[in-house]
Amino acid sequence: MTLTDIKHKKLVDWVNEIAKMTTPDNIVICNGSQKQYDELIELQVNSGLCVRLNEEKKPGCVLFDSDPSDVARVEKRTFIAAPTAEEAGPTNNWIDPAELKATMTGLYTGCMKGRTMYVIPFSMGPLGSPISKLGVEITDSAYVVNNMMIMTRVGDKVLELLGTDGEFIPCLHSVGKPLQEGETDGGKWPCAPMDDKYISQFPATREIWSYGSGYGGNALLGKKCLALRIATVIARDEGWLAEHMLILKVTSPEGESKYVTAAFPSACGKTNLAMLIPTIPGWKVQTIGDDIAWMKPGADGRLYAINPEAGFFGVAPGTSAQSNYNALAAASKNTIFTNVALTADKDVWWEGIGYDAPGEVIDWNGNPWTQNKADKSQKPAAHPNSRFTAPAGQCPCIAEEWEDPNGVPVSAILFGGRRPSTIPLVHMARNWNHGVFLGSIVGSEVTAATLDVKAGTIRRDPFAMLPFCGYNMGDYFKHWIEVGAAAPSADVLPKIFYVNWFRKTAEGKWLWPGYGDNSRVLKWVFECCNGTAKTVDTPIGIMPTVDAIDRPEGVTEEDMKALLTVDVDGWLKEVEDIRTNHYPKFGSHLPQELAEMLDTLEASLKASK
């Protein structure tokens, strides 16, 4: 297909406008076919940008190494260019949209010289779903095209859905490295210097402009940029929720299933929970999605969730057969690896994979590397944020409903963070607004001192959405409250829980084993949804009785008491931190309901002393 075959005038005009500005050598329309995917991989193998892996061990897999300056999302170069700074809110970087577009237009001018412009029509969510949204990404990176083909639904069917005048979100991306005549990348990852990197969202006009980075969420614009930053704004305007949440299907031994979403800050076990293997006999957990949930009210008033993505963009280090067998299995074929180590027989290796490096490997910087466990200062062979991009359909525990266009009905929502003390293993909100309060105070404790953060400090990440909310977060809290108020009755709303797998003793010993044993907490959540759980009312919410959760091996009754006791003094310190350091940031945009919840919590804690 060529540009002249596309019947959507607005789309054709936009592509022509961008081509005139960026001056690519040619334009390719991405059709989503396996043939096109394979041709683009072959192009990059031949140019030295990636290595084809061992076909017996990792069939259909390749490995890329990025530039050392381009290894992760860059928060300081990510902007919400709302019409005013107040609309962007205190947690976002704001630049006036007219000023930002002028700056970026200067950078984009001629930026695709010597390169191919790829036009990627894509769907976030199952094709034709009433919850899905369509986008078109223009990019000069074949790496981005291949990743988008895994992470989204790409191709001609999207253009068919768009028809002649369908709505799409325009996403513009360039690596920011034009090539002079005869020049090539020379096998090196193309990107621009850090100060020229921009990941910009324009909420008012529903546009995404990204320049200078070829990596991850900076460049795969369907992911965080569209699925969260722009989608949160659309969801606010249309009355639904776009969230940084996994989606699980939990099935009891009796065959009853419930669907659970969960939001955790980074390094809090989100992917492991998404693909959990239960340790309770007879219980089954399956994956709908590992990262993003779009939840829309159905005709019955319940929230129905889809996973808008089609793949996993997972962190490799720490992923092993023990920690996450299902993720490892999903990435065993047809996968793009980025910034992990390459073994002598062209397999991949990373720290935490579950076995020692097999002799000398090539590290993510392209240098020979031999593991030396005695050298604590040895740099890792795989970058700590190295990734695998794998089709979700390859996951052994993927649920059959994962692509249901109608979504799945959500019974429970979990929030959580990494907290060595104070926060119990699990507690349930008394009602929807109390649950919104719990989501608004999510945080993780900083466990090691850094230059600017004292150890023990709580770093708040409300709803695990701090880097991803596309508008004022105080208004985002209010939107959650409004979604609850719009429900036909409280009974149709999901129950909301706060979990903490990371409690420790004073001596630093883990009180809870986590991983598969978190299924024991899911069982209690399931019972709460059915009204059969053993519970006790406390100042912080509804908690399990000490005997309500099946104890894993090695967890004593005393441990359970510690995990399920309300630390009144710790919670009063929590209240003070929220009141002094957290809620004031939102000023007049903080919903009154949440301020009152904080007052009620404090009064209940003091009354219990």
Q: Please classify residue 99 by burial: count the beta carbons closer than 10 Å to its beta carbon, then call 0-12 exposed, 13-18 middle and 19+ buried.
A: exposed
Confidence of residue 609 (pLDDT cuts 50, 70, 90): confident
Pairwise CA distance, residues 516 & 416, whole Å = 17
pLDDT digits (tens, 9 = 90+) for 180-217: 999 999 999 999 999 999 999 999 999 999 999 999 99
CA atoms within 13 A on the CB side of 62: 20
Task: Judge if 243-307+402-608 and 311-394 fold alike in CATH terms.
Answer: no
pLDDT in tens, 114-132: 999 999 999 999 999 999 9
* Predicted confidence band of residue 457 (pLDDT cuts 50, 70, 90): confident
Instruction: List active site positions.
Output: 268
**pLDDT confidence of residue 1:** 84
- Domain extent listing, the chain: 3-30+73-238, 243-307+402-608, 311-394
Contact between residue 215 and residue 265 where contact means Cβ atoms under 8 Å apart: no
Residue 5 has pLDDT above 60, yes or no: yes
pLDDT in tens, 14-48: 999 999 999 999 999 999 999 999 999 999 999 99
Q: Which CATH superfamily is domain 3-30+73-238 in?
A: Phosphoenolpyruvate Carboxykinase, domain 1 (3.40.449.10)
Distance of CA 561 to the CA centre of its chain: 33
φ and ψ at residue 183, rounded to 5 degrees: -85, 145
Could you please report the per-residue DSSP string of 223-248? IIIIIIIIHHHHHHHHT-EEES-EEE
- 509's CB contacts (< 8 A; 6+ apart) are none
Give the length of the chain: 609
Residue with tokens 């390459």: 342
Residues 272 and 324: beta-carbon distance below 8 Å? yes
Threshold 0.75, pTM exceeds? yes
**DSSP 8-state code for residue 220:** -
Q: Which helix (H) or strand (E) holds 390?
A: strand 387-391
Task: Return d(Cα 233, Cα 404) in angstroms, integer.
Answer: 24
Mean predicted lDDT score pLDDT of the chain: 96
What was the pLDDT predicted at 449?
43
Burial class (CB in 10 A: 0-12, 13-18, 19+), 19: middle
Mean pLDDT, rounded, for 140-153: 98
Residue 394 has pLDDT above 60, yes or no: yes
* Alpha-carbon dihedral sign for residues 462, 464, 465, 467: positive
Give the residue ranges of DSSP H helices in 487-540.
519-530
pLDDT of residue 254: 98
Whole-angstrom distance, CA of residue 274 vs CA of residue 293: 12
What is the rounded distance in angstroms from the CA atom of residue 26 to the CA atom of residue 39?
16
Give 579-592 pLDDT, tens digit per residue.
999 999 999 999 99
Arithmetic mean of pLDDT, 435-447: 90
Cα 154 to chain centroid distance, Å, stands at 20
Give the separation between CA 607 and CA 562, rounded to whole angstroms.
21
Alpha-carbon span 357 to 201, nearest angstrom = 41
* pLDDT reported for residue 453: 53
Given a cut of 60, whether residue 447 has pLDDT beyond it is no
87: Cβ contacts below 8 Å, ≥ 6 apart: 203, 471, 472
H helix or E strand, kind and range, residue 303: strand 303-306
Question: Which of 192-206, 400-414, 439-453, 537-551 has the least mean pLDDT?
Answer: 439-453
Per-residue confidence (pLDDT) for residue 456, from 0 to 100: 67
243-307+402-608 fold: Phosphoenolpyruvate Carboxykinase; domain 3 (3.90.228)
178-210 exposure pattern, b = at least 16 Cβ within 10 A, e = fewer: beeeeeebeeebbbbeeebbbbbbbbeebbbbb
Q: Which DSSP string do the residues of 353-411 spell out, in sequence order?
A: SSS---SSEE-TTS-EE---TT-TTPPPSS-TT-EEEEEGGG-TTB-TTTT-TT-EEEE
Stretch 98-105: mean pLDDT? 98
pLDDT at 450: 42
Inter-CA distances, 438 with 411, 416, 477, 486, Å? 17, 9, 11, 20
Give me the CATH code for the 311-394 domain, please: 2.170.8.10
| The pLDDT value given to residue 451 | 41
Q: Are 223 and 216 in contact (CB under 8 A)?
A: yes
Q: Supply the angle between the helices 432-440 and 592-608 in degrees, to the nearest 10.
A: 90
